[in-house]
Structure 1
């Protein structure tokens, strides 16, 4: 009898706990704070009042009734934030399938110093974006004719120069980019890169009948009639959604049709999840563009970045870029103190690796005890002396803030310039069950000590169960930096091996159980990797595009060790079986089944 009473008491207690938990989930309506759907009035004051109510509370949802909500910039501000979430805990902003319309120079949201934040169920757009577009209707050696929807993309021709106008702005066309998209699929045109038409949009402009503008001069190429051109007016402007100094942030069921810079930027944040949240083209408005830079960019984060069921399109740069920073040392200022050119994302308590530039290997670890910002440098003092082998010109990398990546069931398409994924991190990376159809390389793994300084030598990267279909239509034709990758998967850290005994930069990269549908030879280009496995993949030759690439071998390996290429299945039409090597011994590559052939005469 006592046992039955005890069981009943446990059930009652459990139900009471569940009731209390449900009761603690408070929902407030934006209309209670002055927000009104479809009013075309500024909703930001209402959002600020609602977020003010949430201060000090937990598990609150700000609910928007479905409709249109407008966001306007503050007068004199160049970066008004639509939703500013600061020092909050457990707040969800649920748009209720609404559309959020922004005006002028603005940022969608800023999440700072907050925990357990969710943004969900809304779309974002600008009535007048900071990118315009046109369609080619005529081209000769002396002019280019384009048709511009003047209502969607207003412009003026002043002193023979075109100027596009918007809400409080007037800007020319930037020479960089001018990306071309084909008329049928709105994909990057085969074998085109940045500024494919040269400086034609900076030349003399003449208004013709029927909404046509003629640009006088000789275009660098003659695109097909009907080709779309994205006309950029800004580059790396205001970030769309900025997440910083926070933990456990979720973006779910979002469509971001435009931003002035990165679609999403994450900094010093632990655990960010994007689930069915895409920065994408607004096809209903006939556009070819979305944001002006990377769709997503994460620097010095930690925990795990999870990206699921996303399809970013139309962005001005890559699908995703996850990396740390190689902080360049400008001066050894004392036994425990080092000056860096840039160390803004490193702070007291962080551990850093010191890196000798010659070997590019992570060395001794030190803990930061103080940070001082000087006029031109950051001075970091450590709890123990700087390693003896470190000098000006060497580097340090933040060890504390490094993130893993899980990217699943995404579509990485040929509808944005440049590459697909850029990943440089020492934490576990899993890229699986995705579909790649990219203009440049599908996956780029670098580690940069001489240009962008993006850090993160890999130690555990798995690429499995993906489909790569006709990627690399705008890859490396001549080997120029402005081209977008040498192979479907490109591993090219700036660390260059000097001989066959140089210790590689990256470690443990596994490419398994994928399907490669390729029109050209290159599958993998790899520099400085120890432990590279290409196993149980299927390669199918297509005839969708003409071969053209700089790399003529299936594999081009430089300074790699412990490479194994085995159990792959090749279409009879795929006849390039060469594995070209340099700064390596023959024994560094194992091909047990002999399906691919080590070819020392294959130079590229």
Structure 2
């Protein structure tokens, strides 16, 4: 009997290896059938073991539903500060592998990450969708709002809840959580777009107030909402924030994500870190409209930090996510101490820490008062610093002496890990909170042939040393052949940094120019051959930029929304040099022709005489909105 079992096992394995010789195996070869509700992970682990042995393999899933469960159930109130999650499928040290979902639906349960790609080369993920039966966001419809209460209608079947001591707690698979006030994003019920002139927590803290169930599925929150929204307004109710990535890519190369739809993830939909050459082609984070939802992922649709090579975003349409369409950036690392001529110290915790510093990487040294990339040095060694058995920082030694005058408070920016970025044929819509494209990198950036209809600013170019520490002055940005359609319906109204942008395109590094001779931070940002359909005045807000070009664009005035923005000039410029605004076509109904400048001379801006722009220095006005 034992020999028979052994023979059958060898026969089974030989069949798999034979199939693998033809570069294709099926998950069904390992005993898993679709639509059974079984946990996919044990079968997938065996299949990936074969893929690791045989580079060049395609692992295929016959079309159907496949379920993914966490390692263990977590009962009652989960500790949202703990980031322990189960990864649905983990691709480690694989080469030349295609993971083909065959059009299948992958359903996740509880506290999980969709996938992790680590230390892989030439890996393709394609042809599947991801969702949760019970996502970690809920939603409701505002059916009544007064100065003393707000009534919310909730589909209790899809978003179950209980009330304990006057507080609403929503229930999920292994979790019971309150509503996080921070977001509470509001949507127009019919269009599913972010409601005009709403931002984060527009209703205030109403969802933290005493609540009762007045009838089945109707929650009454007692108190005064910050605004009285229209009846029928939909609101998303977040229960966690930045909890677990969707599909993460770490220290990998040549990764293709194609024909993928993520209907829900517990943080960023797609994320990349220290990886080279990533392409997303029709890989989108989307609202599951078939389930009547208004939300998708908890954070950005895609987020890439300290990558290199080329990041390509092609044919993507993201909707419903809890943060921006995409963010591509490096990291500003703050020097806490200079030890000797070759050695510095950096922190290990908090923003601006040196956790990502790697031996062999090359770094720029930056004096924040000038905000210019200085000399470079290569990391020779990195050692940990402990205090009372707690890691508090790192000692970093470089290959040669530090640049002259290096001091505590200066910054490092990694030169080794900086990507080129292409974004083409994408739709960046008003169906998600915050902004569209965020990018800071010294390599070439091409944003071309896209359709923008965003709630906040369509394109935000920052680079900061004081809050997020997302580094990277841009040197060569092309924004061309795009359509900007009524963007900025939830832009900056009150002069608050927490609102979602000052103009259709916003260039606001944290560096503030000190005078008209200061060298700018960003360089060579070219905006040309685009169409701007605008209901309000601001087209461009730019700080500390040299060689800013705005040419060949068509500006069409619309009347779809009421003007409201804090910036009422066409261009608001600070510390910019070599600005050219020419050969544009302005709708006669678009009457604003102001260019406001500070820390600049009028000769820093060249315009066509026919456009009759008026260049005005700013006086007695604080135009900088810094984080507190």
What is the TM-score of this pair, normalised by structure 2? 0.91
Alignment of 1:166 with 2:182, yes or no, is no
- The answer on whether the counterparts of 1:144 and 1:215 sit within 8 Å (CA) in structure 2 is yes
Measure how far apart 1:391 and its partner are.
Answer: 0.6
Alignment of 1:591 with 2:588, yes or no, is no
| Cα root mean square deviation, aligned | 1.3
- Mapped to 2, the partners of 1:264 and 1:373 lie a distance apart of 31
- Mapped to 2, the partners of 1:196 and 1:23 lie a distance apart of 55
1:358 equivalent in structure 2: 369
- Mapped to 1, the partners of 2:285 and 2:96 lie a distance apart of 25
Measure how far apart 1:24 and its partner are.
Answer: 6.2
1:345 to 344, 348, 356: 356
1:370 equivalent in structure 2: 381
- Mapped to 2, the partners of 1:69 and 1:412 lie a distance apart of 30
1:26 equivalent in structure 2: 23
Measure how far apart 1:208 and its partner are.
Answer: 1.7
Alignment of 1:408 with 2:430, yes or no, is no
1:206 to 212, 235, 249: 212
- Mapped to 2, the partners of 1:602 and 1:567 lie a distance apart of 26
1:50 match: secondary structure = helix
1:194 to 185, 191, 200: 200
1:481 equivalent in structure 2: 497
1:377 match: secondary structure = strand
Taking the TM superposition and a 5 Å limit, the aligned residue runs for 1:254-403 are 254-341=260-347, 342-374=353-385, 375-403=391-419
1:448 match: secondary structure = coil
| CA displacement, residues 9-46 of structure 1 (integer Å, 9 cap, x when unaligned) | xxxxxxxxxxxxx9966001001122220000100011
- Mapped to 1, the partners of 2:281 and 2:214 lie a distance apart of 46
- The answer on whether the counterparts of 2:598 and 2:617 sit within 8 Å (CA) in structure 1 is no
1:599 match: secondary structure = strand
Alignment of 1:437 with 2:453, yes or no, is yes
| CA displacement, residues 60-114 of structure 1 (integer Å, 9 cap, x when unaligned) | 1100000000000002783111110000001111000000000010000000000
1:154 equivalent in structure 2: 160
Taking the TM superposition and a 5 Å limit, the aligned residue runs for 1:435-584 are 435-584=451-600
2:546 match: secondary structure = strand
- The answer on whether the counterparts of 1:272 and 1:304 sit within 8 Å (CA) in structure 2 is yes
Quick one: structure 1 residues 565 and 596, their matched pair in 2 at CA, closer, same or farther if it must change by over 3 Å? farther
| Greater Cα shift, 367-376 or 108-117 | 367-376
- Mapped to 2, the partners of 1:533 and 1:212 lie a distance apart of 54
What is the TM-score of this pair, normalised by structure 1? 0.95
1:9 equivalent in structure 2: none
- Mapped to 2, the partners of 1:167 and 1:355 lie a distance apart of 48
- The answer on whether the counterparts of 2:140 and 2:152 sit within 8 Å (CA) in structure 1 is yes
- Mapped to 1, the partners of 2:257 and 2:221 lie a distance apart of 43
Taking the TM superposition and a 5 Å limit, the aligned residue runs for 1:115-134 are 115-134=121-140
2:436 to 410, 420, 431: 420
| CA displacement, residues 488-519 of structure 1 (integer Å, 9 cap, x when unaligned) | 00000011110010000000000000000000
- The answer on whether the counterparts of 1:566 and 1:593 sit within 8 Å (CA) in structure 2 is no
Aligned residues: 583
Gaps of 5+ in 1: 1-21
- Mapped to 1, the partners of 2:429 and 2:229 lie a distance apart of 21
Taking the TM superposition and a 5 Å limit, the aligned residue runs for 1:14-93 are 26-75=23-72, 78-93=84-99
2:5 equivalent in structure 1: none
- Mapped to 1, the partners of 2:393 and 2:481 lie a distance apart of 45
- The answer on whether the counterparts of 2:598 and 2:618 sit within 8 Å (CA) in structure 1 is no
